[in-house]
Amino acid sequence: MSDRVIIGLEVHAQITSLKTKLFCSCSSDYRGRKPNTNVCPTCLGLPGSLPVLNRAALEKAIALALALNCRISEKLIFVRKHYFYPDLPKNYQISQYDRYGLIPFAVSGSIAIDMGNYSKVVRIRRINIEEDTGRIVYPGGSPLGSTYSLVDYNRAGIALLEIVTEPDFSNSREARVFLEKLGSILEHLDITDTSLEGALRADANISVAGGPRVEIKNIGSPRELEKALNYEIARQLNILKSGGTLERETRHWIKEKGITVPSRAKELEGDYRYFPDPDLPPISIPPDLIESIKRRLPELPDLRARRLAEEYGIGSYMASVLVLNKRLCDHFENTVRLCGNPKLVSSILVNEFLRWVDELDLDLGEGLRRLNSKRLCRIVDYLEKGLISVKLLKEYVRRVIVENTDPEKIVESGMTTLSSAEDIEKIVEEVFKEYPKAVEDARRDPKAVNFLVGQVMKKTRGRADPKLTNAIILRRLQEHESG
C-alpha cells in the first residue's frame, strides 16, 4: 500500500474591491460593523425581495478567468442551491451548476506553481460566482462553550468567486504554494484583499493511500491550509497503521487547536435540488467585454517574476517566491528603488523576513510595516559600511521585526562588528590563555582553528568580524611557532 496523497481544493475568494454586495446595494465592507446593520430586504431574504446582479462582479470574475486561462461561458446562468442553515437567509444560495444543461461561469484553467526543485501545473476545474452567507456567532466563543448562538447577516450576499481545482496536489506544501499564488493573482487583479479575515478561504479534499475522500472545511489562509493538511495526513496514516479504516466524511479545521474534527453538520450533505433561479434570467457575456478586460489586465505574478529575475538578476526561484505575495513583491521593488542591492534585499525578504513572520504568526502587512523600506535600507547600508556582518544582519532583521524598533537603536546599543584589530587582538590573547590545549591542536591541525574562532565569537556575542578574527589567529599561531 502506497502512502500516496491526493489533494484537491475548493477556494472561496471574496471580491473585496466591489463597493456593494453581489445582488443588492449594501456595502461590501461589512467588517467591524454592528451585527445586522449592513443588511437590506434582499440580502436578508425578506418576502418579496429580488436579486439584481452587480455587474462589476462579473467583470472581476472575467478578469480572474482570463488570468487562470479558463474558458468563459457564453452565458452566466444562476442557479439556486438549497440547504437549510441559519446563516443562509433564503435557505438557498445563488450560485452556478454544471449539470442539466446548466453551466459554470468558467472552466478548464490552470495555475503553474514553482516548488524550487520542480514546478507543476495545477488544473482549475471551474470558477463560479456566488453569494456569501451570514456568520454564526457563538457568545461563548465556540459552539461547545455556548448555550445559544446568534446570526450576523452583515456578510450575507457578499460576492464570492469559487475556484475549484482538479485533485492535482501530492502534498500539503504544493497546496499552500498554490493558494498563495492564487491569492497573489487575486491581489494583482485588485479582486481580493487577502489580508482581510475570511477574504480567502479554502476547503480541501484529501485522500491518503487510496482511501476515501475526506473534506476539510474552514481553512482561512495558505499557512493554515498546510498545517491542516499535514495534520490530516498524519491522522489518516495513523489510523491506517493501527489497522483502522477511514470513512468518507466532512471535517472542520479548528485553527486554535490545530486539529480537524468531524463536522456535526450532517444536514449539509445530500440533495441541493439545483435549478435555474427564475429571478435572474441568463445573462449573455459579450466577447467584446471579455476582450476589453483582457486588454486592461495588469502585470500578473508569472510575468512579474520573469521581469524581476531579468531586471534585478535575482534568480528565478527567488522571484517566484516574491511574487507569491503582491505586497511583499511591491515592498521589494520599493526598497530596491530606494537603496539598490536587489540580491541582498530579496534574500533578506525571502529567507529572513518570511521566516520570522511565519514563526511569530505575524500578519504580513504588520511585518512589512515593521521592516519598512527605510529600516531595511538602513540595515543594508550598515552591512555595506562594514558596521555589521552578515550574521549580525540576520540578528538586526529579527530584532526589527520582533521588537518593531529602528536599526539605529540597535546600533546605539553597541551591537556592531568588532572591526578594530586592536580590540580583537586582546580577545584572541585571552582565548589563547584560556585554551592552551586547543592552541596546540590548532598548530598541528588547521581544522581546529575554527574552535578558537568560535570562542572569540562567543566572547563577543558574534560581533567580531570573522575574517579579521581568523587572520589574527592564524598570524598568532605562526608567531608562536617561530617564536
Partner 1 sequence: MSPPQCTDLATIGIKSLRARVEEDPDFLFKYIEEVYKIIEKYEGVIKAYITLRPMEEVVREAEEVLKRGTLGPLGGSLVAVKDNISTKGIRTTCGSKMLENYVPPYDATVVERIKTAGGIIIGKTNMDEFAMGSTTENSSFFPTRNPWDLERVPGGSSGGSAAAVAACEATVALGSDTGGSIRLPAAYTGTVGLKPTYGLVSRYGLIAYASSLDQIGPIGRCVDDVARVLSVIAGHDSRDSTSLKVEVPDYTQFVSEEPLRKYRAVVIEEMIGEGVDREVIKVLEHVVDKLEGYDIEVEFRSIPILEYSLPAYYIIAMAEASSNLARYDGLRYGIHLSTEGLLWTKTYAQVRKMGFGDEVKRRIILGTYVLSEGLYEGYYLKAAKVRRAIYDSFRKLFSEFDFAVSPTAPTPPPKLGEVVADPLKLYSLDINTVPVNLAGLPAISVPGGFVGGLPVGIQLFGPPLSEGVLINVARMVEVIVGYER
**Residue 361 is a binding residue for partner 1 (CB under 8 A):** no
Give the nearer residue to partner 1 in terms of CB position, either 41 or 212.
41
Pair 364, 370: CB distance under 8 Å? no
CB of 405 to partner 1, least distance (A): 50
CB of 267 to partner 1, least distance (A): 6
**Residue 280 is a binding residue for partner 1 (CB under 8 A):** yes
**Residue 267 is a binding residue for partner 1 (CB under 8 A):** yes
Spell 325-341 as b/e; 16+ CB within 10 A means b: bbbbbebbbebbeebeb
**Residue 56 is a binding residue for partner 1 (CB under 8 A):** no
Give the nearer residue to partner 1 in terms of CB position, either 234 or 283.
283
Among 151, 290, 438, 474, indicate the residue that binds partner 1 (CB under 8 A): 151
Among 16, 21, 64, 92, indicate the residue that binds partner 1 (CB under 8 A): 92
**Host H or E run for residue 38:** none
Amino acid at 376: L
**Host H or E run for residue 301:** helix 301-312
Among 279, 291, 359, 434, indicate the residue that binds partner 1 (CB under 8 A): 279
Give the nearer residue to partner 1 in terms of CB position, either 149 or 450.
149
Among 7, 57, 77, 80, indicate the residue that binds partner 1 (CB under 8 A): 80
CB of 46 to partner 1, least distance (A): 7
Q: How many CB atoms lie within 10 A of CB 421?
A: 13
* Helices and strands of the chain, counted as H and E runs: 17, 16
DSSP track, 348-401: IIIIIIHHHHHHTT--HHHHHHHT-HHHHHHHHHHHHTTSS-HHHHHHHHHHHH
**Residue 316 is a binding residue for partner 1 (CB under 8 A):** no
Q: 472542520: which residue's cell? A: 252
Among 27, 49, 218, 419, indicate the residue that binds partner 1 (CB under 8 A): 49
**Residue 278 is a binding residue for partner 1 (CB under 8 A):** yes
**Residue 118 is a binding residue for partner 1 (CB under 8 A):** no
Give the nearer residue to partner 1 in terms of CB position, either 66 or 94.
94
Pair 81, 95: CB distance under 8 Å? yes
Residue 169, beta-bridge partner list: 7
CB of 321 to partner 1, least distance (A): 45
- CA dihedral sign of residues 57, 58, 62, 63: negative
Footprint (CB under 8 A) of partner 1, residues 380-439: none
**Residue 90 is a binding residue for partner 1 (CB under 8 A):** yes
**Residue 46 is a binding residue for partner 1 (CB under 8 A):** yes
Among 17, 27, 29, 53, indicate the residue that binds partner 1 (CB under 8 A): 53
**Residue 196 is a binding residue for partner 1 (CB under 8 A):** no
CB of 273 to partner 1, least distance (A): 4
Spell 262-299 as b/e; 16+ CB within 10 A means b: ebeeeeeeeebebebbeebeeeebeeeebeebeeeeee
Stretch that binds partner 1, among 51-59, 313-321, 362-370, 406-414 (CB under 8 A): 51-59
Q: Let me know the angle formed at the C-alpha of 73 by 71 and 75, rounded to the nearest 5 degrees.
A: 165
Q: What distance in Å separates the CA atoms of residue 59 and residue 64, rounded to the nearest whole number?
A: 9
Q: Which residues bind partner 1 (CB under 8 A)?
A: 41, 44-53, 80, 82, 84, 86, 89-92, 100-101, 151, 153, 267, 271, 273-275, 278-281
